[in-house]
Structure 1
Amino acid sequence: MQAMAQVLRVETGHAWLRVTDAGGGCGRCDEPGGCRSVQITQAFGLPKAEFVLPTALELRAGDKVVISIPDGAPLKAALASYGLGVVLLVAGAALGEVWSADGAGDLGAALGGLAGLLLAFALNRVLFRSRNWRAQLRMELAAQVVCLQSIAENQ
């Protein structure tokens, strides 16, 4: 997933960026019923007009850059965030209902579901702290000129 952005300012190895083009996808992002799936500023949180990324590039305010997220990273993040919670909620509720005493199946299911959600929360916290996991979800910057040169070389 890639998007064009403009550098707003650069300080101590970090660039403040504003996305100027969502790029990619089916082209129905802003139409009614469009999924907005290529909104790169929303990939890992709430939409923001500007955000900060670390960079080793020599950039100045006004420069155009390309922000890229590895293929599959948004899906991995969504599955870990939401999928793990749903699976553990249902599994915990099922186990809680099975292991509960006669007549307390609903209470057992509720407690098992809560235990599953708590386990999902704990596992997501561990994943977030993992350097290996975060490295798979990184955003990278490249100067727009470099990207255009590599496209021309491949043709």
Structure 2
Amino acid sequence: MTDAWGTVTAVDDQHASIHMDEIGCGRCGEPGGCGGKHLGKLLCGTPRTVRVRNPDHCGVGARVRVAVAEGSLGRSALYAYALPLLALFAGALSGSACGGELAAIGGAVVGLLVGWLGLRRAQRQILRDPRWQPSIRP
């Protein structure tokens, strides 16, 4: 599990809004850390607020650890970048094999659309799977 600290800012029903103290997992300085915290500071000046399930009914102001399943960030990045790109290339190659340059461009557009639809489907599946959702750790 990868986790980061935050403070509960709001509670509703079974969920809590958590203001994250840091961007990234907090392992940037450790060996094997990705350094994403530095990129996050560059692109996102303010800390993020996330909404997670709150099974322990933590109250507003509570300091909590938000955990994300190991591998979920890499899997998400793979889906977000590789799937549409591979579909675009496959469409362009298919179009090129069927015709000329215009067919390759059309195939690339169709491939990109198919990749986007595949990404939307993968996103829906991941959102339904509780193993890949962030959670509050005791």
TM-score range, shorter chain: 0.7 to 0.9
**Are 1:25 and 1:37, in contact at CA under 8 Å, matched by a contact in 2?**
no
Alpha-carbon distance change, 93 to 37 in structure 1, aligned in 2, over 3 angstroms: farther
Aligned AA (1:25): R
Structure 2 CA distance for aligned equivalents of residues 18 and 110 of structure 1 = 44
Shift of 1:11: 1.9
Q: Which runs of 5+ in 2 are unaligned?
A: none
- Structure 2 matches for 1:33-112, cutoff 5 A? 34-36=35-37, 49-100=48-99, 105-112=100-107
Shift of 1:6: 0.8
Structure 1 CA distance for aligned equivalents of residues 18 and 77 of structure 2 = 24
Alpha-carbon distance change, 93 to 136 in structure 1, aligned in 2, over 3 angstroms: farther
**Are 2:22 and 2:47, in contact at CA under 8 Å, matched by a contact in 1?**
no
Shift of 1:88: 0.9
Q: Alignment RMSD, CA only?
A: 2.6
1:24 matches 2:26: yes
Map of 1:141 onto structure 2: 136
Q: May I ask how many residue pairs the two structures share in their alignment?
A: 128
Radius of gyration: which is bigger?
Answer: 1
**Helix, strand or coil at the partner of 1:122:** helix
Give CA deviations for 1:51-92 in whole Å, capped at 9, x if unaligned.
321211121111111101111111111111110011111111
TM-score where L is the length of structure 1: 0.71
Q: What percent identity do the matched residue pairs reach?
A: 23
TM-score where L is the length of structure 2: 0.78
Aligned AA (2:91): G
**Are 2:28 and 2:37, in contact at CA under 8 Å, matched by a contact in 1?**
no
Q: Which runs of 5+ in 1 are unaligned?
A: 29-33, 144-155
